[in-house]
Chain A
Amino acid sequence: MGRTLAEKVWDDHVVKRVEGEPDLLFIDLHLLHEVTSPQAFDGLRKAGRTVRRTDLTLATEDHNTPTLDIDKPIADPVSRTQLETLRKNCADFGVRLHPLGDVEQGVVHVVGPQLGLTQPGTTVVCGDSHTSTHGAFGALAFGIGTSQVEHVLATQTLPLSPFRTMAVTVEGELPDGVTAKDLILAIIAKIGTGGGQGYVIEYRGSAIEKLSMEARMTICNMSIEAGARAGMIAPDQTTFDYLEGRDHAPKGADWDAAVEYWKTLRTDDDAVFDHEVVINASELAPFVTWGTNPGQGAPLSERVPDPASYEDASERYAAEKALEYMGLTAGQPLRDIKVDTVFVGSCTNGRIEDLRSAASILDGRKVADGVRMLIVPGSVRVALQAVEEGLDKVFTAAGAEWRHAGCSMCLGMNPDQLAPGERSASTSNRNFEGRQGKGGRTHLVSPQVAAATAVLGHLASPADLSDAAVPAPAGV
């Protein structure tokens, strides 16, 4: 019987297989950041162990880094300690680090792909759940806990029990103004936040094949919000074109050998998935969340749902709690929801196409009075590219704040936070209670919806902007 993409990559990394035990898998790329690594290095030190493969390990600073005044000492002592600890650990153990101020610094899941380190058919791990992002290249990429970080540092392997496989097939054309973010929010709303549990999801079908690499990363990034261990997309010409010439992409004969291998990384026609979901792209619309988990979302044109309409008791309870926390009433049109803050950034939507897309809408317009808009590029490279294209000027002219690269308001570990009761439209990936600051209320949206929302002051899509024709989004 044929194998799925995920199974092929898995099989190619088995170091040891014993019936009844987890497989020992080799890890091709281990990414580190300051939050989940200190205790792992601490463990190594205590046990007198070393990092086995510093040449397969890369660290960057992202979660705690400030997005203003980055040349000044970090005010928060705890953030400073974490960054200093990472610097010391990387120096002590010989790990390559891109610290704040470095040109390759940025959100770990933006940095790996842009350096060309994330490649098809590799295993990628990081102590961060959104490691699923790297699956966009046909890599098997998943988040791990700190003990596992220590394990990979010490052994470059992980003992893992096989996943189940799920296919999410998206056929047809995405309508104008509907982006990868809308698609993944719709997928999560359909399968639920626990629906992907235990699975590696492979996204396939004509609508997926048409997506740019960056849009594919947005999709795979949020696989974890459906509970999945990982998300994957088979590598194709789009993938190869993105990689060719990047710093760490193979060169010369290695490139040819790599491409030849990468072309074999497709689910066989006779392979069987454990579960299949089919989505019709043409029925989708801009999608926003109204609740406190990423599965609580709806098309922007709809209303806040009535908890009483849920048959499942725990869903009903969750919806009631969510409306209470979010300060919303059932039946209220989603478009009427006013926001104070708009955040464009994160490893979900902080890449150059996302910034282009937001800029194309903000160009010549103004952020509404009383709304603060933060634009936080996913990496320094993204920021430099944006400046080269003049996007920073578009943002500042519109009244948005152009910030330094990092995770920023995606999780509010640095000073970029929502105040209690404040409401944001955010291009990040989690709308959990307090995620963006204690008492903060988050609506997850695409960069386009974020930009239109900033202009109008309430949740809106570019189609709601009456003053001008809306340009086509870059890269979808």
Chain B
Amino acid sequence: MEAFTTHTGRAVPLRRSNVDTDQIIPAHWLKKVTRDGFEDGLFEAWRKQPDFVLNQEAYQGATVLVAGPDFGTGSSREHAVWALQNYGFKAVISSRFADIFRGNSLKNGLLTVVLPQETVEALQQLAEADPAAEVTVDLVNREVRAEGVKAGFELDENARWRLLEGLDDISLTLREEEAIAAYEAKRPAFKPQTVVA
């Protein structure tokens, strides 16, 4: 996993609330069996509308998505995170994320930043007024900075450390072999098995 320390890039204002994972990446894209190549499916339905924000020339190459509240609701598809990353987004800012989406994003190195709605609004206005304006998402100092905006954000220490170090979950857990084996040894005999091992 790529480490995330601080990122500066242009922002895309997505003025929609309750953007569910079906909108982020429609179900028919889930049929792929690889982890890449999802960029064309990102917000597929909306991208067919010429006036959709991602279709505007000025926002090409932007890397920070500033979305309305309740971003990432709906099904648990991790493809939503991959689609955002494949498209080039490094961070998503919203006043509220759905739990599963947030968990998925942090595990994949896409930083999801929760800021108060007023701050999100201010960033959206900034990006609308000046699509070339840059936004800095600084995980080291837990701060988002842009012209006229300086806002701290929270992220639990463990998730932050792993993002900063670029550590994936499995390698960390495999260090706990002894504890896992000890737990397995004391599991009751009545616990279900799918096959006899």
Give me the interface of A with B, judged by CB distance under 8 Å.
15-16, 20-22, 24, 26, 28-29, 35-36, 38-39, 42, 47, 49, 53-58, 63-64, 76, 78-79, 81-82, 85, 96, 116-119, 122, 127-129, 143-148, 150-151, 154-157, 159, 161, 193-194, 197-198, 227, 229, 248-250, 254-255, 257-258, 261, 293, 314, 317-318, 411-413, 430, 432-435, 438
Instruction: Compute how far the CA of A71 lies from the CA of B194 in the bound complex, rounded to whole angstroms.
Output: 27
Of all chain A residues, the one with the shortest Cβ separation from B1 is: A147
A sample of 7 more A-B contacts (CB under 8 A), given A56-B194, A194-B96, is A54-B194, A145-B100, A147-B104, A197-B99, A229-B100, A248-B194, A432-B23
The 8 closest A-B pairs by CB, nearest first: A55-B197, A78-B31, A145-B78, A38-B33, A145-B104, A258-B190, A254-B190, A250-B190
Contact of A155 among B22, B31, B173 (CB under 8 A): B173
- Tell me the smallest distance from the CB of B154 to a CB of chain A, in Å: 13
Q: Which of B18, B75, B104, B194 has the most CB of A within 10 A?
A: B194
Contact of B197 among A16, A54, A122, A193 (CB under 8 A): A54
Within 8 A of A (CB), among B154-197: 156-158, 168-170, 172-174, 176, 179-180, 182-184, 187-197
Total A-B residue contacts, Cβ distance less than 8 Å = 196
B180 touches A157 (CB 8 A): yes
Question: Does B88 count as interface, using CB distance less than 8 angstroms?
Answer: no
- Tell me the smallest distance from the CB of B45 to a CB of chain A, in Å: 6
Instruction: Compute how far the CA of A35 lies from the CA of B77 in the bound complex, rounded to whole angstroms.
Output: 9
Interface size class of B (residues with CB under 8 A): 35 or more
Instruction: Compute how far the CA of A220 lies from the CA of B79 in the bound complex, rounded to whole angstroms.
Output: 25
Instruction: Compute how far the CA of A116 lies from the CA of B190 in the bound complex, rounded to whole angstroms.
Output: 12
Contact of A54 among B18, B68, B98, B195 (CB under 8 A): B195
Contact of A248 among B172, B184, B192 (CB under 8 A): B192
Question: Does B112 count as interface, using CB distance less than 8 angstroms?
Answer: no
Task: List 23 contacting pairs A-B, 8 Å CB cutoff, sorted by A.
Answer: A24-B176, A26-B180, A29-B192, A35-B30, A39-B78, A49-B170, A54-B194, A55-B197, A79-B31, A82-B31, A85-B33, A144-B76, A146-B79, A147-B168, A151-B169, A155-B174, A155-B176, A156-B184, A194-B96, A227-B99, A229-B99, A314-B18, A413-B30
Instruction: Compute how far the CA of A154 lies from the CA of B20 in the bound complex, rounded to whole angstroms.
Output: 29
Question: Does B138 count as interface, using CB distance less than 8 angstroms?
Answer: no
Instruction: Compute how far the CA of A254 lies from the CA of B192 in the bound complex, rounded to whole angstroms.
Output: 10
Q: Which of B189, B191, B196 has the most CB of A within 10 A?
A: B191
A96 touches B194 (CB 8 A): yes
Question: Does B107 count as interface, using CB distance less than 8 angstroms?
Answer: yes
B34 touches A433 (CB 8 A): no
Contact of A159 among B20, B30, B173, B195 (CB under 8 A): B173
- Tell me the smallest distance from the CB of A290 to a CB of chain B, in Å: 16
Of all chain A residues, the one with the shortest Cβ separation from B104 is: A145
Instruction: Compute how far the CA of A47 lies from the CA of B1 in the bound complex, rounded to whole angstroms.
Output: 13
* Inter-chain contacts of B17 with A (CB < 8 A): 314, 317-318
* Inter-chain contacts of A258 with B (CB < 8 A): 188, 190
Within 8 A of A (CB), among B55-114: 68-70, 73-79, 81, 96, 98-100, 103-104, 107-108
B157 touches A20 (CB 8 A): yes
B107 touches A148 (CB 8 A): yes
| Given A20-B158, A119-B192, A254-B190, also A193-B18 (CB < 8 A) | yes
* Inter-chain contacts of B187 with A (CB < 8 A): 26
Within 8 A of A (CB), among B3-19: 17-18
* Inter-chain contacts of B70 with A (CB < 8 A): 193-194
B78 touches A36 (CB 8 A): yes
Instruction: Compute how far the CA of A435 lies from the CA of B45 in the bound complex, rounded to whole angstroms.
Output: 12
Instruction: Compute how far the CA of A217 lies from the CA of B120 in the bound complex, rounded to whole angstroms.
Output: 39
Instruction: Compute how far the CA of A255 lies from the CA of B104 in the bound complex, rounded to whole angstroms.
Output: 38
Contact of B76 among A39, A143, A151, A255 (CB under 8 A): A143
Instruction: Compute how far the CA of A317 lies from the CA of B184 in the bound complex, rounded to whole angstroms.
Output: 51
Of all chain A residues, the one with the shortest Cβ separation from B168 is: A147
Instruction: Compute how far the CA of A259 lies from the CA of B178 in the bound complex, rounded to whole angstroms.
Output: 30
Instruction: Compute how far the CA of A109 lies from the CA of B43 in the bound complex, rounded to whole angstroms.
Output: 29
- Tell me the smallest distance from the CB of A239 to a CB of chain B, in Å: 14
Give me the interface of B with A, judged by CB distance under 8 Å.
17-18, 20, 22-23, 26-28, 30-35, 45, 68-70, 73-79, 81, 96, 98-100, 103-104, 107-108, 156-158, 168-170, 172-174, 176, 179-180, 182-184, 187-197
* Inter-chain contacts of A194 with B (CB < 8 A): 70, 73, 96, 98
| Given A155-B170, A413-B30, A430-B74, also A96-B189 (CB < 8 A) | no
* Inter-chain contacts of B26 with A (CB < 8 A): 434, 438
B195 touches A145 (CB 8 A): no
Of all chain A residues, the one with the shortest Cβ separation from B169 is: A151
A435 touches B27 (CB 8 A): yes
- Tell me the smallest distance from the CB of B26 to a CB of chain A, in Å: 6
B190 touches A227 (CB 8 A): no
A39 touches B34 (CB 8 A): yes
Instruction: Compute how far the CA of A433 lies from the CA of B46 in the bound complex, rounded to whole angstroms.
Output: 12
Contact of A161 among B156, B193, B194 (CB under 8 A): B156
Instruction: Compute how far the CA of A444 lies from the CA of B192 in the bound complex, rounded to whole angstroms.
Output: 34
Instruction: Compute how far the CA of A393 lies from the CA of B76 in the bound complex, rounded to whole angstroms.
Output: 37
Instruction: Compute how far the CA of A432 lies from the CA of B158 in the bound complex, rounded to whole angstroms.
Output: 34
Of all chain B residues, the one with the shortest Cβ separation from A128 is: B76
* Inter-chain contacts of A117 with B (CB < 8 A): 192, 194
* Inter-chain contacts of A29 with B (CB < 8 A): 192, 194
* Inter-chain contacts of A54 with B (CB < 8 A): 194-195, 197
- Tell me the smallest distance from the CB of A250 to a CB of chain B, in Å: 4
- Tell me the smallest distance from the CB of A217 to a CB of chain B, in Å: 17
| Given A129-B76, A154-B170, A432-B22, also A55-B193 (CB < 8 A) | yes
A318 touches B18 (CB 8 A): yes
B99 touches A28 (CB 8 A): no
* Inter-chain contacts of A249 with B (CB < 8 A): 192
